[in-house]
Amino acid sequence: MSTLLTGITTSGTPHLGNYVGAIKPSIEKSKDFNKNFLFLADYHSLIKNQDPELTFKSSLKIAAAWIACGINFEKVNFYRQSSIPQILELNWILSSVTPKGILNRAHAYKAAVDVNDKTDPDSGINAGLFNYPILMAADILLFDADFVPVGSDQKQHIEMTRDIAGRFNNSYGETFTLPEPIISSDIPLLPGLDGRKMSKSYNNFIELFSSEKILQKSLNQIVTDSLLPGDPKGTKDSILFDYFSAFLKKERLDGIKKSFEDGAGWGDLKKMLFDIINDELSPLREKYENLINNPNTIEEILSEGERQAVIHADNKIKEVRETVGIKPLHG
């Protein structure tokens, strides 16, 4: 019985790119597995964010978004990383078998070093960023995950987890499952309104559950060329067509492509796009707003997921303690 584990960074407010590239495909992928662990990586978020209010609100909004989008709680354990103390215990145990050289090679750490003055390469870099790969390994290995969905730029995280697990197994015997990454090439990457990567830092994003008015206003800002109504329009390298592609299956998308070729005006095309996206998001938006206004419902869902996750985590950490020789002195 294969196990899938997915971590969610709790930073900021979910945007449309998160929905298309992570939330929707992850929920769909969970249907293929008998056991799923889905967690809010709230301890990880502290590496870059020391604003307590932002940490709290981000966790609330992101949990509400994933719940609203249709997690099947019969198959998925949804929990907060911070509610599973065994993760931090395993983090320490794994740090004892992890060579510093592995951490030196982590992409995030190297990128932070590269922007620093050579006289002080570690300026502004906290230990959390440096040790991040070990905590991620603990997240994964504690739950015996067989597969972990990651972007192509995050493959190294799984490779490092496998390396750490392998070193532990070589020292103490087979204890941890070596996880495999799932890198889906068919998941659409939604660009920002200006064609660059959708990012809050570029201010080119659309909040996932913004109001209908703001959604329409945002979609109207998608960059297009100066072709007039009646002029045939290509779909290759079209930001607007990329948005259609992210929300439509081939049959309906072929009809949109014909509208481009027949010279539909940009305003009409953007109105069509708004109707398509809003029809999909409208019922989810209502669920999301109800959850935000009733946080006790979110807490109850997470608490139940945590109750189940702790059972597995406790059994695993007991096995690990026994393996490394930390056990009762009697008998």
Per this entry, what is the length of the chain? 331
**Architecture of the structural domain at 209-290:** Orthogonal Bundle (1.10)
Each residue's pLDDT, cut to its tens digit, for the chain (331 residues) gives: 699 999 998 988 899 999 999 999 999 999 999 899 999 999 999 999 989 999 999 999 999 999 999 999 999 999 999 999 999 999 999 999 999 999 999 999 999 999 887 788 889 899 999 999 999 999 999 999 999 998 877 899 999 999 999 999 999 999 999 999 998 877 778 999 999 999 888 999 999 999 999 999 999 999 999 999 999 999 999 999 999 999 999 999 999 999 999 999 999 999 999 999 999 999 999 999 999 999 999 999 999 999 999 999 999 999 999 999 999 898 5
Closest Cα to residue 61, out of 10, 112, 113? 10
Contact in structure between 308 and 258 (CB atoms under 8 Å):
no
CATH number of 3-188+295-324: 3.40.50.620
Q: What is the pLDDT of residues 117-126, one digit of tens each?
A: 778 888 989 9
Alpha-carbon 41 to chain mean position: 9
pLDDT in tens, 40-56: 999 999 999 989 999 99
**pLDDT, position 331:** 57
Map out the domains of the chain as residue ranges. 3-188+295-324, 209-290
